[in-house]
Amino acid sequence: MKTLNRRDFLRSSGAAALFAATPGLAYSQVVGGGGAFDDYRALVCVFLFGGNDSYNMLAPRSDAEYNVYATSRQNLAVPQAGLLAITPPGQGAVEYGLHPSMSGIQGLFESGSAAFVTNVGPLVEPTTKADFFNTSVTLPPQLFSHNDQQDQWTSLRGTVPSSTGWAGRMADLIRSGVTEQQMATNASLFGTNLMQSADETVAYVMGPGGPLQFEGFSLDPDSVLFQQREAFRRIVEAQYDTVYERGFADVQRRAIDAADTVTAAIDSAPPINAVFPPSQLGTQLNTVARLIAVRDQLQMKRQVFFVAAGGFDSHDDQNLNQPGLLGDVSDAIAAFYAATAELGVADSVTTFTQSDFARTLTSNGDGTDHAWGGNQLVVGGAVAGRALYGNYPLLDIGGAEDVGGGRIIPSTSADQYAATLAKWFGIPDTDLDIVAPSLSNFAQRDLGFMIS
């Protein structure tokens, strides 16, 4: 019979495969002391992979502006009568509406718990159409590329590649204030991501429904797999000669402990009455709600959650697929807000969207192509809601902000958007430039959509 050595045992237990698939599984080790937070706040990023056509998510409804929109969007325009009316003050004669599938967000907006940040996107410095074509300003590299623009949103890298993301840098900045937390500040329910990558802290990565359990283990003491689990624990707790062996064993040990701690906490969470859609996004946000419900048990003061949905790269079948995509976003976020209200933490939890980019205003016949600036949604009790922040553009082809095919230059930067969220989260103004490295290039450091 073949002898099972340590390497074979690691492989058969599933630990090595789990670590390779989710290298951020171990919870972060915070250092330092003092400066502990005395309240709870959480940010929840909903990333819409593929590039959300956000000028159909939020569209002009008044006749003059709608007619320009409809001329530009052609067969992709949402019928004027179908747009769900919203009533933000201070917009003059221009009226706006939401996609017909977003009644949940309409209700949150009208109640003051949601807002939109309009025409926001990656920028290194303020940019006009003349600047763009004269190449007289620094532009984010590889515009209109999925991977590159996802990296821009999540790292705020500007022109310099970055191995850390803006949420990761926030976690590093506050690590001395969260030393009692039993779970990482950053947690992802959609795999590893650049946004939560950091120099000194490590994001905790779990599945949509909770922590990923080690394959081949059991918590049942009467099971053979429980004995295998205990044997694995003895291996990782042994003394090793090299720093690499000790480091790997430490990661595996902390992974087991973290999975046990977080799973036990989730299992003890009180029932939540809010009804989530049975989608991937709905499942993720339901799990986030359950984790927030046990924040005191885990001694959490600050958390950033990353959840996501795909399918927004609408080159084809946009009219067929967009209602379901936006409807799921609306229903899932509305259910999540209801859950936070039920838990009494609506004022302490802010949900916000990001996406690769918006889509071209022009139709390719059945869909749209990659563009630039678009609209993002912010939801929570601390949001200064029922308002549009930024400058919603006139959606005309060849207009003052169109660099071709209805690709709109952002008037608000992703750095300003992230910095506003970071400030509410507890990052001092003096450190916002660490979180958002291009922020100093813009006059407005705080967009005003959060109530301190």
**Segment 37-64, tens digit of pLDDT:** 999 999 999 999 999 999 999 999 999 9
For residue 97, the SS3 value is strand
Name the residue type at position 136. S
Q: How far apart are the first and last CA of the chain?
A: 66
Q: How many domains does the chain have?
A: 1
- Say whether 102 sits in a helix, a strand or coil: coil
Q: How far apart are CA 267 and CA 89, in angstroms?
A: 44
> What are the phi and psi torsion angles at 138 (to 5°)?
-80, 125
Structure confidence at residue 296 as a pLDDT band (50, 70, 90): very high
**Strands annotated E in 37-174:** 41-48, 58-60, 84-86, 96-98, 114-121
Q: What is the mean pLDDT of the chain?
A: 89
Rounded to two decimals, what is the model's pTM? 0.88
Statement: residue 344 has pLDDT above 70: yes
Residue 287 located in a structural domain: yes
Instruction: Judge contact between 339 and 272, C-beta under 8 A.
Output: yes
| pLDDT score at 222 | 75
pLDDT band, residue 203 (cuts 50/70/90): very high
Q: Is 228 contained in some domain?
A: yes
**In the numeric block, which tokens belong to residue 283?**
């499942």
Look at phi and psi of residue 288 and say left if phi exceeds 0, alpha if psi is from -120 to 50, else beta.
alpha
Asked if residue 247 belongs to a domain, the reply is yes
Residues in Cβ contact with 123 at an 8 Å cutoff, skipping those fewer than 6 apart: 140, 410, 413, 414, 415, 438, 442
Q: Could you tell me if residue 198 is inside a domain?
A: yes
Q: What are the tens digits of pLDDT across the range 222-273? A: 776 666 666 766 766 777 778 777 766 666 666 666 777 898 899 999 999 9
Residue 233 CB: number of other CB atoms within 10 A? 15
Q: What is the pLDDT of residues 157-170, one digit of tens each?
A: 999 999 999 999 99
Indicate whether 35 belongs to any domain.
yes
User: Is residue 56 within 8 Å of 102, Cβ to Cβ?
Assistant: no
> What's residue 245's pLDDT?
72
Report how far Cα 351 is from the mean position of its chain's Cα atoms. Answer: 8
Residue 357 makes CB contacts below 8 A (sequence gap 6+) with: 51, 121, 144, 149, 370, 371, 372, 373, 374
Closest CA to 192 of 244, 141, 154, 143: 154
pLDDT for residue 261:
86
Question: How many other CB atoms sit within 10 Å of the CB of residue 268?
Answer: 11
Residue 60 lies inside a defined structural domain of this protein: no
CA nearest 126: which of 142, 116, 139? Answer: 139
Secondary structure letter of residue 409 according to DSSP: P
In a domain, 149, yes or no: yes
Task: Taking residues 204-225, report their average pLDDT.
Answer: 76
**Structural domain of residue 134, as residue ranges?**
6-52+74-79+113-318+335-441
| Per-residue pLDDT, 211 | 86
Q: State the sign of the Cα–Cα–Cα–Cα dihedral 380, 29, 151, 126.
A: positive
The bridge status of strand 387-390 relative to strand 114-121 is: parallel
Mean pLDDT, to the nearest integer, of 193-203? 97
Q: Which of 26-35, 180-189, 283-292 has the lowest mean pLDDT?
A: 26-35
Angstrom distance (rounded) from CA 244 to CA 164: 23
Q: What whole-number distance in Å separates Cα of residue 393 and Cα of residue 96?
A: 12
CA gyration radius, the chain = 23
Q: What tokens appear for 117 in the block?
A: 């940040």
24 pLDDT band, cuts 50/70/90, is very low
Answer yes or no: is 129 within a domain. yes
For residue 270, what are the contacts with CB-CB under 8 A and spacing of at least 6? 293
